[in-house]
Amino acid sequence: MHSFDGRVQLIKSVLLALKVYWAMAFILPKTIIQEIEKRLRSFLWKGSTGVGYAKVSWHQVCQPIEEGCLGIRDLLALNRGLMSQHLWQIISGDRSSLWVDWIFHNRLRSIQYGLSVIILDHGDGGN
For residue 120, pLDDT beyond 80: no
Please tell me the chain's helix, strand, coil percentages from 3-state DSSP, rounded to the nearest 5. Answer: 70, 0, 30
89: pLDDT strictly greater than 80:
yes
Residue 83 three-state SS: helix
Q: What is the largest CA-CA distance in the chain?
A: 76
The size of the chain, in residues, is 127
pLDDT confidence band for 111 (50 / 70 / 90): low
At residue 112, does pLDDT exceed 70? no
Angstrom distances, CA of residue 56 to CA of 25, 47, 83: 32, 15, 29
